[in-house]
A = this chain, B = another copy of it.
Amino acid sequence: MSTTASPAPGAGSRPGGRSARVRAAVHLAVRELVADDPGEPLTIPVLATRAGVHATTVYRRWGTVGELLADVATSRFSGDIVVPDTGSLRGDLERYASDLAKDLCDPDTLALVRATIGIGGEQGAAACRGERQQQLEAILERERARGGQPPTLERTTDAVLAPLYYRGVFTNDPLTPEWTRTLVAHLLPD
Binding site for B on A (CB under 8 A): 38-39, 41, 66, 111, 114-122, 124-126, 128-129, 155, 157-159, 161-163, 165-167, 169-172, 182-183, 186
A39 touching B121 by the CB < 8 A rule? yes
Among candidates B111, B120, B121, B163, residue contacting A162 with C-beta atoms closer than 8 Å: B163
Q: A125-B169, A125-B171, A166-B166 are in contact. List 14 more A-B contacts (CB 8 A).
A: A38-B121, A39-B118, A39-B119, A39-B121, A41-B41, A117-B169, A157-B163, A158-B162, A159-B186, A161-B166, A162-B166, A163-B163, A165-B166, A169-B169
Nearest B residue to A187 via CB reads B186
How many chain copies?
Answer: 2
Known A-B contacts A39-B121, A41-B41, A111-B121; the reply to A167 vs B162 at CB < 8 A is yes
- Cα distance, A161 to B169, chains bound together (Å): 13
Known A-B contacts A38-B121, A39-B120, A121-B111; the reply to A129 vs B159 at CB < 8 A is no
Return 15 A-B CB contacts under 8 Å, by A number.
A38-B121, A114-B117, A114-B125, A117-B117, A117-B170, A122-B172, A125-B170, A129-B170, A155-B182, A155-B186, A158-B159, A158-B162, A158-B163, A158-B167, A158-B186
Residues of A contacting B: mostly: helix
CB distance from A38 to the nearest CB of B (A): 4
Among candidates B129, B159, B167, B170, residue contacting A171 with C-beta atoms closer than 8 Å: B129
Among candidates B118, B122, B129, residue contacting A118 with C-beta atoms closer than 8 Å: B118
B39 touching A128 by the CB < 8 A rule? no
CB distance from A190 to the nearest CB of B (A): 13
Cβ of A172: which chain B residues have Cβ within 8 Å of it?
A: 122
CB distance from A19 to the nearest CB of B (A): 26
- Cα distance, A162 to B161, chains bound together (Å): 9
